[in-house]
């Protein structure tokens, strides 16, 4: 078996993470779904975990309706020495329509290498403060 080029895999993972950030900012749901595993475990704050692309698409569709702007960046990405697992930690700021201030969030992704390339298998994110209003994308009673 040939040795794994971890740096090359990391560049591919960085591309997926950057692709997700850009797709989030442009609210491109189809592109986002391409980057997710079919059975993704999506963990937004304030709602039970969402399993699978369909549930996440519904959630994000609603979230994007409320989001005027977003800025995001990655702090650290690491690929396993076996070259088939990765994680990425980072941050984003989200501004809702009608609001003056951006809300600060942090995120953690887990990725797996599949026959169809790197896919995000889990995503968790949360606010950095209780100040400033409700959670991103969450309207009580309407989340499901």
* Cα 22 to Cα 16, 25, 144, distances in angstroms: 10, 5, 25
Nearest distance from residue 120's CB to other proteins, in Å? Answer: 11
Instruction: State the Cα–Cα distance between residues 137 and 144, nearest whole angstrom.
Output: 11
Near other proteins by CB under 8 A: residue from 19, 25, 29, 46 = 46
66 binds other proteins per the rule CB under 8 A: no
Nearest distance from residue 79's CB to other proteins, in Å? Answer: 9
Closest CB to other proteins among 26 and 75? 75
Q: For the beta carbon of residue 140, count every other beta carbon within 10 angstroms.
A: 9
13 binds other proteins per the rule CB under 8 A: no
Near other proteins by CB under 8 A: residue from 96, 127, 136, 137 = 127
Q: For the beta carbon of residue 1, count every other beta carbon within 10 angstroms.
A: 3
Q: Which residues bind other proteins (CB under 8 A)?
A: 41, 43-49, 78, 80-82, 84-85, 87, 89, 104, 106, 108, 110, 112, 121-124, 126-130
């Amino acid at each position: 078996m040939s040795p794994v080029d971890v740096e090359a895999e990391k560049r591919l993972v960085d591309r997926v993470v950057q692709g997700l950030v850009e797709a989030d900012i442009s609210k491109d749901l189809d592109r986002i779904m391409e980057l997710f595993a079919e059975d993704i475990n999506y963990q937004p704050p304030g709602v039970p975990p969402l399993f699978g692309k369909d549930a996440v698409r519904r959630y994000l569709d609603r979230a994007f309706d409320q989001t005027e702007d977003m800025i995001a960046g990655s702090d650290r990405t690491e690929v396993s020495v076996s070259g088939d697992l990765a994680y990425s930690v980072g941050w984003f700021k989200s501004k809702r329509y009608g609001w003056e201030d951006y809300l600060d969030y942090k995120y953690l992704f887990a990725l797996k290498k599949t026959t169809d390339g790197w896919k995000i298998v889990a995503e968790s994110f949360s606010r950095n403060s209780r100040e400033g209003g409700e959670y991103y994308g969450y309207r009580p009673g309407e989340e499901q």
